[in-house]
Amino acid sequence: MTKRLARLVICFFYSATVAFSQTTSSLWLDDLPTKSFSEGIPAVLPKTTAAGDSIVMHGTYFNRGVGVNATSILAFFLDGKATEFTALVGVDDKGIKELPHRFYVIGDRKILFDSGDMRLGDEPKNVAVPLNGIKRLGLLVKVDDAGRTKVYSNWANARLVVRDNYLPQTIPNTDERYILTPPTPKTPKINSARVFGATPGNPVLYTIAATGERPMRFSAKGLPAGLSLDVQTGLITGKVVQRGTYKVTLTARNAFGQATQNLNLKIGDAIALTPPIGWNGWNSWARNIDREKVIASAKAMVRMGLSQHGWTYINIDDAWQGQRGGKFNAIQPNEKFPKFREMVDFIHRLGLKVGVYSTPMITSYAGYVGGSSNLKDGGFPDSIQANKRAFRYVGNYRFETQDARQLAEWGIDYLKYDWRIDVPSAERMSVALKNSGRDIFYSISNSAPFASVTDWVRLTNSYRTGPDIRDSWNSLYVSAFTLDKWAPYAGPGHWNDPDMMILGNVTTGTQLHPTRLTPDEQYSHVSLFSLLSAPLLIGCPIEQLDAFTLNLLTNDEVIEIDQDPLGKSARLLREENGVQIWLKPLEDGSFAVGLFNIGDFGKTPESYFRWGDETAKSFTFDLANVGLNGHYRLRDVWRQKTLGVVETSFKTEIRHHGVVLLRLFPKK
């Protein structure tokens, strides 16, 4: 036998041995934790439709599969260890008749299957796609649903053939978590809002937030009668009876120097003159929230220095509510929240504010006591608790006045009111809060109809502009990058709310896990929310913040853009070569500009997924194209670095799904 022939024989037996050792097996998609692979917003459910019903297409029932709603994005990391994907796809028989759905299977940027348009009543189509060598797999259903519900379609009998019992993973998120913002200096810097509104005769709680070495002493010149300052904590409390605008000068001093800031204190009919900035517990703990977790969050807000940058609210979401009772026959806290008023007082002493959740429905979304009932006394018997979903509607007897008075007596500062929003329910609670004897920020949720935006401006302090946010680029894009039409309605006292922030460790649909946003996407997230003058509500456990996320949340120049007293929302002025240009005018005559590399997201099936080979884009920002004429001093906001003076254009690199956030100061 020649040496060449011998080598061929050895190679043959080696290849055969490897092939034999790599056994394959079928893996039903509905046996996987499907929610963890979903990067869309609506529900994704195993073995049922997205509504929880049986999967039925063209009259045929299916016991296996994954049901999705509207545009759906499922992303899997296969690492080359799958050989085939098979399924039957189509519109569910309970879906919407006239809407076309289009199914795609995409592997490593290549479209492997395209169903073409499919409608209700069409026969399901077979999918049989080889996956040898594919590392990243995307399953996309594209529907132009225009906000309509019940847009149900299915991946029936969906399964993967994998080697050696491999289990698909979520898409890796291992990009460098680079820190841009420099550390805060030891010298004092005041970071609290420069305008504050309160109602005559109602309690005032305002904290002078300041960074710098402790100990620090505070002073306030020009405080109106009725207010006092704690010089050690910077906490201003009391009541002001006389209407008017009071010019107050705040000062913070330590061993390294002093800082001053002017405050316009407006006593009148308007509160919430800047967007709220704080924390909400739902995306941290969901139904598992309790007194200990809330207190731990408040302590962490102070201990980690967030309160020094102006972070204020500690908001308890759904799952605190118990039975009605007390002197107002109002919702009382359940067994997870003993000594409720004591907890509120403790948080106030830290210089923070407290929020809670309620709903005008009989039951909340988590199944707890709501603000109405079909029983005159508002009772919540076992018959309701046994079938909570059946009582997600507004009952015959409503208790807005009683509940608002109870919130005021406890010292609550913020109410998140959550349901499929209607104007009458919103108005009843608005009136009740204004008559409660306390200034309570009023936030309504979720998916406020745009057609009634003038009512939301009139009645509320913030209104959720869309569905619940998820920690994916698609959800962030839908929640924030589409808000330009809402922009003219935002302003002091009434803010467009794209939902909580999806940074850190979150529980959006699955167990607590690190956000799936890349570091670049997280910079874009915080930048755009600030440009939009959106409420900034941290959605992760504060005590678990790492250095990268804490750095994202403590750039005072970014927060200042969000808290600017002018209260103008940025507008989307142009989109050029996959880069969106958002511009926001600020009170001092300067402009904040966000240059976002959105990568033509949504324009091709491939653009819905992250393939791991994305690159930065070179971009020239032409000032004249957005109406900026003259000379401007240019500042990189994230790096807190002045870049010089520009007149015509500025050239930069923008990372994929990343941002360059600028502030332009006119030069005379």
> pLDDT tens digits, residue range 284-335?
999 999 999 999 999 999 999 999 999 999 999 999 999 999 999 999 999 9
Q: Residues 178-184: what's their mean pLDDT?
A: 97
pLDDT at 67 over 50: yes
Q: Say if CB 104 and CB 140 are below 8 A apart.
A: yes
Residue-range domain boundaries for the chain: 24-163, 189-267, 277-559, 573-667
Percent of the residues in the chain that have a pLDDT greater than 70, as a whole number = 97
Question: How far is the C-alpha of 615 from the C-alpha of 626, rounded, in Å?
Answer: 26
Measured distance CA(474)–CA(41) in Å, rounded = 8
- Mutual angle of helices 340-349 and 291-303, in 10-degree steps: 0
| Distance from C-alpha of 451 to C-alpha of 171, rounded to nearest angstrom | 38
Q: Would you state the structure tokens that stand for residue 464, as one six-digit string?
A: 């959720």
The rounded distance, in Å, linking the Cα atoms of 306 and 640 is: 18
Instruction: Write down the pLDDT at residue 98.
Output: 84
Name 322's bridge partners.
none
Residue 440 is predicted with a pLDDT of 98
Phi/psi region, residue 634 (left: phi>0; alpha: psi -120 to 50; beta: rest), is: beta
The pLDDT of residue 16 is 42
pLDDT band at 582 (very low <50, low <70, confident <90, very high): very high
Of 6-10, 247-251, 464-468, the least confident: 6-10
Backbone angles phi, psi at 627, to 5 degrees: 80, 20
Catalytic (active-site) positions: 418, 468
Class of domain 24-163: mainly beta
Q: How far apart are the C-alpha atoms of 541 and 188, rounded to whole Å?
A: 28
- Right CATH number for 277-559 from 2.70.50.60, 3.40.190.10, 3.40.630.30, 3.20.20.70? 3.20.20.70
pLDDT attached to residue 4: 54
Kindly state the helix (H) or strand (E) to which residue 560 belongs, with its residue range: helix 556-562
Identify the pLDDT of residue 22.
65
Which of residues 268 and 22 earns the better pLDDT score?
268
Q: CA 651, CA 654: separation in Å to the nearest integer?
A: 10
Task: Name the band, by pLDDT with cuts 50, 70 and 90, for residue 148.
Answer: confident
Band (390; pLDDT cuts 50, 70, 90):
confident
Work out the mean pLDDT of the chain and round it to a whole number: 94
Give the mean model confidence (pLDDT) for residues 274-286. Answer: 96
**Whether residue 3 has pLDDT greater than 70:** no
Model pLDDT for residues 215-270, shown as the tens digit of each residue: 999 999 999 999 999 999 999 999 999 999 999 999 999 999 999 999 999 999 99
- CATH-assigned architecture of domain 573-667: Sandwich (2.60)
Contact of 532 with 483, CB cutoff 8 Å: yes
Provide the pLDDT confidence category of residue 643 given band limits of 50, 70 and 90: very high
- Per-residue pLDDT at 7: 52
Residues facing 161 on adjacent strands:
26, 84
Left, alpha or beta for 478 (phi > 0: left; psi -120 to 50: alpha)? alpha
Domains 277-559 and 573-667 share a fold: no
Using the predicted structure, report yes or no on whether residue 568 has a pLDDT greater than 70.
yes
Q: Where are the beta strands (DSSP E) in 134-232?
A: 136-142, 152-163, 189-190, 195-198, 203-207, 210-211, 217-221, 227-230
Q: How far apart are CA 314 and CA 300, in angstroms?
A: 11
When pLDDT is cut at 50, 70 and 90, the band that residue 631 belongs to is very high
Which residue has 């913070």 as its token pair?
Answer: 252
13 pLDDT higher than 70: no
CATH architecture entry for 189-267 = Sandwich (2.60)
DSSP codes joined into one string, 235-258: EEEEE--S-EEEEEEEEEEETTEE
Mean pLDDT of 341-354: 98
Is 0.85 surpassed by the pTM of this model?
Answer: yes
pLDDT of residue 378: 95
SS3 letters across 380-404: CCHHHHCCHHHHCCECCEECHHHHH
Nearest to 565 by CA among 584, 543, 545: 584
Write out pLDDT tens, residues 393-432: 999 999 999 999 999 999 999 999 999 999 999 999 999 9
SS (H, E, C) 525-546: HHHHHHHCCCCEEECCCHHHCC
Residues 51-57 have a mean pLDDT of: 95
What pLDDT is recorded for position 450?
A: 96
Residue 502 clears pLDDT 60, i.e. is over it? yes
pLDDT of residue 327: 96
